[in-house]
Amino acid sequence: MAYTYDPQNIFAKILRGEIPNDTVLDTEYSLAFRDIQPQAPSHVLVIPKGPYVSYDHFAAEASDAEIVDFTRAISEVCKAEGLALPVGEGFRMIANAGAHGVQDVPHLHVHILGGRPMGRMVSQQA
């Protein structure tokens, strides 16, 4: 079944310049900006500029150039935030998808979180 993308989601509006964002990095195919409700001292969202709902959608259908750009953008953000090893103390990357992944915004985004120990990976509670 084909993926369906809602062009009215809030990150699509950010990409169209309809609502503001606190940009960290802007590349040909990717945008990184600060999460509006940060869960850690460093909390940056990295999104592809193309209309992809989730990581699996992106990995299946994005061009090689988009995938390379997005992957490198994540690396650049981790470095710019001072989180990347060996200089920084590390980070957590999260990409939620769908209902069980508790994804609120249906445009692929990778959360980069760091600046403190991030705790255990997954809560036992729903």
Q: Which residues bind ligand AMP (CB under 6 A)?
A: 10, 19, 21, 33, 35-37, 45, 96, 102-105
Q: What are the structure tokens assigned to 6, written together?
A: 């809602």
For ligand AMP, the closer of residues 10 and 118 by Cβ is 10
Cα separation of the two ends of the chain: 27
Q: Closer to ligand AMP at the Cβ: 16 or 86?
A: 16
Please name which of 3, 32, 1, 2 lies closest in space to residue 15, comparing C-alpha atoms: 32
Instruction: Please give the distance of CA 10 from its chain centroid, rounded to a whole number.
Output: 13
Catalytic residue from among 43, 107, 109, 111: 109
Minimum gap (Å) between residue 35 Cβ and ligand AMP? 5
SS3 state at 22 = coil
* Residue 109 annotated to the active site: yes
Question: Which residues are designated catalytic?
Answer: 109
